[in-house]
Structure 1
Amino acid sequence: MALPEELFEVPASRLDSFVAQWLQPLREWKEDVLEAVWTVEKFLREGRFQGERGLDQDVRVLKVVKVGSFGNGTVLKDVAEVELVAFLSCFRSFQEQAKHRQAALRMLRREAWHCQDLLGLGLQDLRLVQGALVCTFQNWRTVEPITVTIVPAYRALGPSVSNSQLYPAIYESLIKAGGYPGCFSSSFSELQTNFVKHRPTKLKSLLRLVKHWYLQYVQAKSPRTELPPVYTLELLTIYAWEMGTQESENFELDEGLVSVLELLQDYELLCIYWTKFYTLQNPVIGAFVRNQIQKERPIILDPVDPTHNVAEGYRWDIVAQRAKQCLKKDCCYNGEEPVPSWEVKEARDIQVTVEQWGYSDLTIWVNPYDLIKKLKDKIRRLRGTFDQYLLSFQEPSGTRQFLDTHCSWAYYGIFSDTRICLLQNLSPEIQVFVKNPNGGSHVYVLHPNSLILNLKQQIEDKQGLPKNQQQLEFRGQILQDWLVFRNYGIQNNDILVLSKKTAREAPFLPS
Structure 2
Amino acid sequence: MALAGELFDTPASRLDSFVAQWLLPSREWRAKMKKVVRTVERFLKEEDSQAEHLLGQKVRVLKVIQADSFGKGTALRNAAEVELVVFLSCFHSFREEAKFHQAVLSLIQKKLWRRQDLLALGLKDVYVAQGVPDALVVTIQPSEISELVTVTIVPAYRALGPLVPNFRPPPEVYESLIKAHCYPGIFSPSFRELQTDFVKHRPTKLKNLLRLVKHWYLQNARDIQVTVEQGGHSDLILWVNPYEPIRKIKEKVQRSRGYSGLQRLSFQEPSGDRKLLSSHCSLAYYEVFSSIRICLLETFSPEIQVFVRHPDQGTHAYAMNPNDLVLTFKGQLEDALGLRRNLQQLEYQGQVLQDWVVLGSYDIQDSDTLILTQKRAREASCPPN
TM-score, scaled relative to structure 2? 0.56
CA deviations over 1:430-458 (Å, ceiling 9, x no partner): xxxxxxxxxxxxxxxxxxxxxxxxxxxxx
Give 1:202's match in structure 2, choosing from 201, 205, 215.
205
Per the alignment, residue 40 of structure 2 pairs with 40
- Counterpart-to-counterpart distance in 2, 1:33 and 1:221: 31
Trace 1:45-124 onto structure 2 (pairs within 5 A).
Answer: 45-51=45-51, 53-124=53-124
Gaps of 5+ in 1: 230-310, 319-511
Which whole-Å deviations, capped at 9, do the CAs of 1:215-247 have from their partners, x for residues lacking one? 232165666565499xxxxxxxxxxxxxxxxxx
What is the rounded CA distance, in whole Å, between the counterparts of 1:104 and 1:41 in structure 2? 16
Partner of 2:221: helix, strand, or coil?
helix
Q: Spell out the pairing of 1:82-481 with structure 2 (5 A cutoff).
A: 82-130=82-130, 131-218=134-221, 224=240, 226-227=242-243, 314=287
Of all paired residues, the percent bearing the same amino acid is 56
- 1:12 and 2:15 matched: no
Aligned mates of 1:200, 1:170 — CA distance in 2: 29
8 Å contact from structure 1 (residues 153, 187) kept in 2: yes
Contact 2:4 2:219 in 1 (8 A): no
Which letter does structure 2 place at the counterpart of 1:5? A
- Contact 1:163/1:191 (<8 A) preserved: no
The aligned amino acid for 2:43 is: F
Q: 1:113 to 1:228 in 2, by over 3 A?
A: closer
1:35-75 deviations in whole A, cap 9, x for unaligned? 11001001111111132742235211111011110110000
Q: 2: CA distance between counterparts of 1:107 and 1:148?
A: 17
Change in Cα spacing, 1:117 to 1:106, as seen in structure 2 (3 Å) is same
Q: Which amino acid aligns with 2:148?
A: P
Deviates more, 1:125-134 or 1:217-226: 217-226
CA RMSD in angstroms comes to 2.4
How far apart, in 2, do the equivalents of 1:78 and 1:64 lie?
Answer: 23
Residues 445-478 of structure 1: CA deviation (Å, up to 9, x unaligned): xxxxxxxxxxxxxxxxxxxxxxxxxxxxxxxxxx
What is the alpha-carbon distance in structure 2 between the residues aligned to residue 161 and residue 98 of structure 1? 27
| Preserved contact between residue 52 and residue 107 of structure 1 (Cα < 8 Å) | no
Q: Is the 8 A contact 1:227 1:315 kept in 2?
A: no
Note if contact 1:124-1:138 (Cα within 8 Å) is conserved in structure 2: yes
Distance 2:85 2:65 in 1: 5
How many residues are matched?
A: 234
* Partner Cα separation in structure 1 for residue 224 and residue 16 of structure 2: 25
Largest Rg, 1 or 2: 1
| Distance in 1 (alpha carbons) for counterparts of 2:222 and 2:53 | 40
With over 3 angstroms needed to count, the CA separation of the structure-2 counterparts of 1:142 and 1:206, relative to structure 1, is same
Take 2:224 and 2:216, find their aligned partners in 1: how far apart are those partners? 11
Q: 2:74–2:211: 8 Å Cα contact kept in structure 1?
A: yes
Q: Which amino acid aligns with 1:109?
A: Q
Rounded to whole Å, the distance in 2 between the matches of 1:85 and 1:101 is 13
**Partner SS for 2:54:** coil
Gapped regions of structure 2 (runs ≥ 5): 226-238, 246-283, 292-385
Contact kept? 1:134, 1:148, Cα under 8 Å: yes
> Residues 150 and 312 (structure 1 numbering): CA distance in 2 closer, same or farther, change over 3 Å?
closer
SS of 1:12's partner is coil
* Aligned-residue offset at 1:19: 1.6
